[in-house]
A and B are shown apart, each in its own frame.
Chain A
């Protein structure tokens, strides 16, 4: 247990300095109906590391991420980024939503989607200039999608769509990257390409947090884990927090294929 945990009590901080944490949640509860999906969760995202959010289906992984971004409004609790209110730090945070959350039949091109990552820079009416398009192309190049810039997004494979979303997040030039299931339904080549980009971000000192469901790759991909099943089950470096004991506590009786894969 870190000293941070000792000074919080269900979201009521007792003299706590969160300034060094890119992201901190304290006592965050989210509910869509009567039943809370995420209950009184504390989370401390370490700077310059790659953290996996892990838990069974319906454990509130995506909801937690959305609450951390202000995409859903928590019922209770607070979210800070570098110790400041989330709203003041949005320019430093990039987001990759679940691929299935948008309609890929939308009439737009790959380069337009990536350009959306520059919205904070462009605002309502500022002209798109050559340097903006250069940045877009550089981001597409980094995920290996430069040659698809003019494609309609519906013509891409699932893996290519996921890379476009990652390129859009890169265009945001943030310090903290939050990704919702970036490896869901993508091919092996895309998975390798994405993890290479995320690791290079980490090596540049950026912070990466991803909702992840494949337990067999956690040790290879991530530095830290955050285990959740509606409540926080464990948090820390992979070696300490990603153990048979914490996994059993998180997944309960539902020890899925992932655990078997990990054992095998």
Chain B
């Protein structure tokens, strides 16, 4: 693998890896709290938030996009709670209603908006633009040590790496309260731990990962990574620490294998064009979960 790989494939793969791990990490806690659907909800409601942020500011800079997405996430949480309370609907149904409605609203808004000058459209919302995040300044592996070339890295690469770093450090720092409050909320409260805040913190962490990943890789990967790697990892072990490790491994495997298969797989099969990397990464994660469900050591009877 030479210069061409570094220029065309290295950064998309790295961004995919960081996005996958940043989503899978909080996904472990969402899974154990039976809140996996929240990750799904967040990644959908991000769309109208981003569109509104674009309409208001006229740019697709990272900061307004993030603010718009965060605002939309907040609105959705309030709406879900309101529908659950006043509509007397169970929370799963309330979430389903809110995130599909908000995503649909985002699609309509997008169609009515002139976004021809920027790349923000429904397809991007679903599967991002991973393949286009190439590193033009790279001339080979040596560019990794060349400050000038490094400055030309796609901004998504740094943003995604930073997001994963933040999520990882927060998880490490608050590991004990996270584990305690997830396993036994009553006991955690009796210890004086702020369990509501911890629960909110997990959702905020998931939202941070979802919003950052959405821009680079689209919502399909986000949704898949919140659920598939943690669910497969749970079947591999009976220790939470090991489950986290397995989920990171599965996220990496999905991102790398998915990207390579999307780029080269169709060619091996005689087709002339490659397929969507986002779609293939999500598919690989689903296949890993399927294999784990069939062969993993700690499947439930």
Contact = CB atoms under 8 A, between A and B. Distances in A.
Interface of A: 66, 69-71, 87, 90, 93, 95, 97, 101-103, 105-109, 112-113, 116, 119-120, 122-125, 152, 154, 168
Given A106-B183, A107-B237, A109-B239, 7 more contacts: A95-B190, A97-B187, A101-B186, A107-B234, A107-B242, A108-B239, A119-B176
A70 B189 contact: yes
Contacts of A87: 192
Contact of A124 (B32, B173, B183, B191): B173
A93 B173 CA distance: 26
A103 B33 CA distance: 9
Contacts of B240: 106-108
A70 B196 CA distance: 13
Interface string B178-206: 01101110110111110000000000000
A120 B191 contact: yes
B274 interface: no
A217 to B, nearest CB: 25
Contact of A116 (B32, B184, B237, B239): B184
Interface bin, chain B: 20 to 34
A97 B184 contact: yes
A101 B179 CA distance: 16
Given A105-B300, A107-B234, A90 B191 contact: yes
Contacts of A97: 184, 186-187, 190
A70 B187 CA distance: 10
A90 B174 CA distance: 20
Interface string B237-249: 1111011000000
Contacts of B174: 124
A124 B186 contact: no
A168 B186 CA distance: 14
Contact of B190 (A69, A106, A109): A69
A107 B239 contact: yes
Contacts of A103: 32, 183
User: Which among B177, B186, B238, B240 has the greatest number of chain A C-beta atoms within 10 A?
Assistant: B186
Given A70-B189, A107-B238, A108-B240, A122 B183 contact: no
A101 B186 CA distance: 8
A113 B184 CA distance: 10
A104 B283 CA distance: 31
Given A119-B176, A119-B180, A106 B32 contact: yes
30 contacts: A66-B186, A69-B189, A70-B190, A71-B190, A90-B191, A95-B190, A97-B184, A97-B190, A101-B184, A101-B186, A102-B183, A102-B184, A106-B240, A107-B32, A107-B237, A107-B238, A107-B243, A108-B183, A109-B239, A112-B239, A113-B183, A116-B183, A119-B191, A119-B193, A120-B191, A122-B176, A124-B174, A124-B175, A124-B176, A168-B187
Contacts of A106: 32, 182-183, 240
Contact of A90 (B184, B190, B234): B190
A132 B99 CA distance: 46
Contacts of B176: 119, 122-124
B28 to A, nearest CB: 9
Contacts of B184: 97, 101-102, 116
Nearest to A96: B187
A116 B180 contact: yes
Contacts of A107: 32, 234, 237-240, 242-243
Nearest to A115: B176
User: Which among A70, A119, A125 has the greatest number of chain B C-beta atoms within 10 A?
Assistant: A119
Contacts of A154: 238
A125 to B, nearest CB: 7
B100 to A, nearest CB: 28
The 9 nearest A-B residue pairs measured at CB: A152-B238, A95-B190, A97-B186, A71-B189, A69-B190, A90-B192, A107-B240, A102-B184, A106-B183
B296 to A, nearest CB: 13
B186 A71 contact: yes
A190 B299 CA distance: 29
Contacts of B234: 107
Contacts of B190: 69-71, 90, 93, 95, 97
Given A107-B238, A107-B243, A152-B238, A116 B192 contact: no
A154 B238 CA distance: 9
A179 B263 CA distance: 59
